[in-house]
């Protein structure tokens, strides 16, 4: 009987050792999964940061282009007078037949701006749209739009 008892003790130790090995193996697998998940999350965060940086660069370039077009006196701010002068000039460029009206053929956004039932927009109505745009861009209502105020997605 003592041999059985010794065998039982050795078997018990082997079983205990195997159980510990199995538990350690499972813990190691969970650690690997956690590390892998953390690595994937880190890569996702880095990709998002790069994407945001690219978007910021694109937005900054759009702001610069906007300022180059509208800041006529290059004082780093766009006055309402400068903005409206450029809007008036834009209307004149778009009005190919110089009849004082823009039709859908001349400017495809006419249908969104024109009054219901009309297929054209007059210069005063066109300038009124740009007046509203300027008022929306001029966040602090000082009559000027600066780089800080400008959100090119609004234009």
Same structural domain, 61 and 78: no
Q: How many residues does the chain have?
A: 155
Residues 81 and 155 in one domain: yes
Q: Are 144 and 135 in contact (CB under 8 A)?
A: no
Q: Indicate the residue among 33, 53, 70 that finishes a domain.
A: 70
Q: How far apart are CA 82 and CA 7, in angstroms?
A: 98
Same domain, 35 and 4: yes
Model's pTM, two decimal places? Answer: 0.58
CA nearest neighbour of 63 among 136, 147, 131: 147
Domain of residue 57, residue span? 1-70
User: Which residues, at least 6 apart from 129, have a Cβ–Cβ distance to it below 8 Å?
Assistant: 113
Residue that finishes a domain, picked among 70, 98, 128: 70
pLDDT tens, per residue, the chain with 155 residues: 444 555 566 666 676 666 766 676 666 666 555 656 666 666 666 666 666 666 777 777 887 887 888 888 888 899 999 999 999 999 999 999 999 999 888 887 777 887 788 888 999 999 999 999 999 989 999 999 988 887 755 55
* CATH code of 92's domain: 1.10.238
Based on the fold, state whether residues 84 and 64 are members of the same structural domain: no
What span, in angstroms and rounded, lies between the C-alpha atoms of 150 and 60?
A: 10
Q: How many domains does the chain have?
A: 2
């Amino acid at each position: 009987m003592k041999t059985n008892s010794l065998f039982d003790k050795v078997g018990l130790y082997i079983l205990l050792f195997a159980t510990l090995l199995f538990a350690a193996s499972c813990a190691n697998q969970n650690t690997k999964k956690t590390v892998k998940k953390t690595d994937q999350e880190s890569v996702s965060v880095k990709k998002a940061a790069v994407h945001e940086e690219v978007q910021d660069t694109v937005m900054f370039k759009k702001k610069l282009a906007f300022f180059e077009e509208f800041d006529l006196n290059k004082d780093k701010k766009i006055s309402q007078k400068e903005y409206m002068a450029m809007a008036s000039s834009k209307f004149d460029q778009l009005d190919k037949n110089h009849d004082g009206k823009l039709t859908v053929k001349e400017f495809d956004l006419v249908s969104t701006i024109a009054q219901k039932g009309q297929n054209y927009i007059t210069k005063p109505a066109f300038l009124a749209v740009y007046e509203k745009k300027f008022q929306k861009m001029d966040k602090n209502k000082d009559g000027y739009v600066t780089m800080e105020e400008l959100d090119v997605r609004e234009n």
